[in-house]
Amino acid sequence: MRSQSDNPRACAVVDLDAVRESVAALVARAGNAATMAVVKADGYGHGMLACARAALDAGATWLGVAVVEEALALRAAGLTVPVFAWLAAPGEPLADAVAADIDLSASAPWALEEIAAAARLVGRTARVHIKADTGLNRAGATEADWPSLCEAAAALTAEDVIDVAGVWSHFAFADSPGHPTVRAQIGRFTDAVTIAEKTGLRPQVRHLANSAATLVSPDAHFDLVRPGISVYGLSPGPDVGSPADFGLRPAMTLTARLALTKRVPAGSGVSYAHRYVTTAETTLALVPLGYADGVPRAAGNTAEVLLAGHRRRIAGTVCMDQFVVDAGDDLVRAGDEVILFGPGDRGEPTAQDWADALGTINYEIVTRVGARVPRGHLNPTVAQGRPS
Ligand SMILES: *Cc1c(COP(=O)(O)O)cnc(C)c1O
């Protein structure tokens, strides 16, 4: 079932039923809170539109993205649900966003002013979520700057230029359950909401929870949760739990077909700089994926793949377009399937295994799968009688 689709060389096969199953589990966890499926960065590498539709099928009612272009692409595809885009530098095309009914974020007065200017230009009230920095020290207004941001937002609300649809913030340590900052950030967020309300703002949604907090910190759910990585069936981190612990199912399987096999003698140096040398006569197998396709160069001699039923470590340096696997005496031929990672059902490594091997997080493994690798979507949403 999870074999490659039409592409003969390589494919990231994404099972949208796994996305639906995972989102249904998140919606259940969210309880009374609504669920915003985060589909930024091309749906964490899984294909934004197909995954957005599958998430909506399964009960998500909002979509979240980082940047305006992503939000506009969702609208261009005909999706009409609330869409929130939270990252913009000065001078971005916010009028297009306001015209397309995209919810925008403001962490500072200049952002409110740019959104207000866009709203006046378009002749439409802009929906804004003002962001409090509750301890991540990334986006958001500091505690000191929060009251003046609320006052500026209240003034624009009184003019009907903006509508403060939300108050929000983001966690620093949600993937370390029980970390003291989680409780502290919930407390600061509650205070920020109180200050906003005292300023006269009436936000419709308060939201703070990413995947980890959606899964394990019900106190952080408020009105809306913003899971991302878990939409794609992956756990936000090993300390939170395994996907199965939460009813999540990893959606992506990255596969390729061998481009060449050959017998070589013992003592053969393999790939650039001969960082791998064969210890016996063996069969080398060439995999047509490289760092241009998102296979990290650091995976050389480190990460494993599944070939002919065996886990095999990548032999030597990962090149831009290809890498080599030592298949030993296995009978492998050009065209045979190799699985880099997947849900693990067939004994293949998982994205989490790759992350562990490389000292990174599974987010980076799936999101960096390159544009040259086609996404093959299984079980797409059928709308108006045709798959979309
Ligand atoms: C990416 C992101 C999320 C989703 O985080 P996950 O850990 O993938 O669930 C939520 N909110 C913001 C602001 C983000 O940048």
- Nearest ligand 1 atom, CA 227: 9
| CA-nearest residue, atom 4 of ligand 1 | 228
CA atoms of 269 and 276, how far apart (whole Å)? 6
pLDDT given for residue 212 in this prediction: 98
List Cα–Cα distances, 232 to 29, 71, 144, 262, in angstroms: 16, 19, 37, 37
pLDDT at 223 over 50: yes
Confirm or reject: Cβ of 36 under 6 Å from ligand 1.
Answer: no
Residue 263: partners with Cβ closer than 8 Å, 6 or more residues away: 281, 282, 283
Confirm or reject: Cβ of 139 under 6 Å from ligand 1.
Answer: no
Confirm or reject: Cβ of 170 under 6 Å from ligand 1.
Answer: yes
pLDDT given for residue 297 in this prediction: 98
CA atoms of 263 and 117, how far apart (whole Å)? 67
pLDDT at 141 over 50: yes
Residue with tokens 């929906």: 127
Confirm or reject: Cβ of 224 under 6 Å from ligand 1.
Answer: no
Structural domains in the chain plus CATH codes: 16-232 (3.20.20.10), 252-378 (2.40.37.10)
| CA-nearest residue, atom 15 of ligand 1 | 66
Tell me how crowded residue 1 is: count the other CB atoms within 10 A of its CB: 8
pLDDT given for residue 5 in this prediction: 53
pLDDT given for residue 387 in this prediction: 52
Q: What is the pLDDT of residues 249-292, one digit of tens each?
A: 999 999 999 999 999 999 999 999 999 999 999 999 999 999 99
Counting Cα atoms < 13 Å in the Cβ hemisphere of 151 gives 5
Surface-to-core class of residue 194, CB atoms within 10 Å of its CB (0-12 exposed, 13-18 middle, 19+ buried): exposed
Residue 350: partners with Cβ closer than 8 Å, 6 or more residues away: 250, 341, 342, 343, 344, 362
Q: What is the pLDDT of residues 356-378, one digit of tens each?
A: 999 999 999 999 999 999 999 99
Active-site entry in 131, 272, 276, 363: 272
Nearest Cα to Cα of residue 9 among 205, 292, 268: 292
Going by pLDDT thresholds of 50, 70 and 90, the confidence category of residue 1 is: very low
Nearest Cα to Cα of residue 349 among 233, 255, 241: 255
Average pLDDT value for residue range 177-201: 97
DSSP 300: T
Active site residue 272: yes
Confirm or reject: Cβ of 86 under 6 Å from ligand 1.
Answer: yes
Record the pTM: 0.96
Active site residue 40: yes
pLDDT given for residue 310 in this prediction: 98
Beta bridge mates, 104? 85, 128
| Percentage with pLDDT > 90 across the chain | 96
Residue 2: partners with Cβ closer than 8 Å, 6 or more residues away: 13, 15, 253, 342, 345, 378
Confirm or reject: Cβ of 300 under 6 Å from ligand 1.
Answer: no
Confirm or reject: Cβ of 227 under 6 Å from ligand 1.
Answer: yes
Q: Hey, what's the torsion of the CAs at 323, 325, 326, 330, to 10 degrees?
A: -140
Residue 329: partners with Cβ closer than 8 Å, 6 or more residues away: 282, 283
pLDDT given for residue 7 in this prediction: 74
pLDDT at 87 over 50: yes
Our mutation pick for probing the ligand 1 site, out of 226, 234, 362, counting the most ligand atoms within 8 A of Cβ, is 226
Average pLDDT value for residue range 77-88: 98
Active-site entry in 40, 44, 131, 276: 40
Q: What is the pLDDT of residues 17-65, one digit of tens each?
A: 999 999 999 999 999 999 999 999 999 999 999 999 999 999 999 999 9
Please state the φ and ψ torsions of residue 116, each to the nearest 5 degrees.
-65, -40
pLDDT at 382 over 90: no
pLDDT at 3 over 60: no
Q: Which DSSP string do the residues of 76-122 spell out, in sequence order? A: HTT--S-EEE----TT--HHHHHHTT-EEEESSHHHHHHHHHHHHHH
Nearest Cα to Cα of residue 150 among 98, 88, 94, 198: 198
Considering the chain, what is the average pLDDT of its residues? 96
The single-letter code of the amino acid at 212 is A
State in Å: Cα 226 to ligand 1 middle: 6
pLDDT given for residue 318 in this prediction: 98
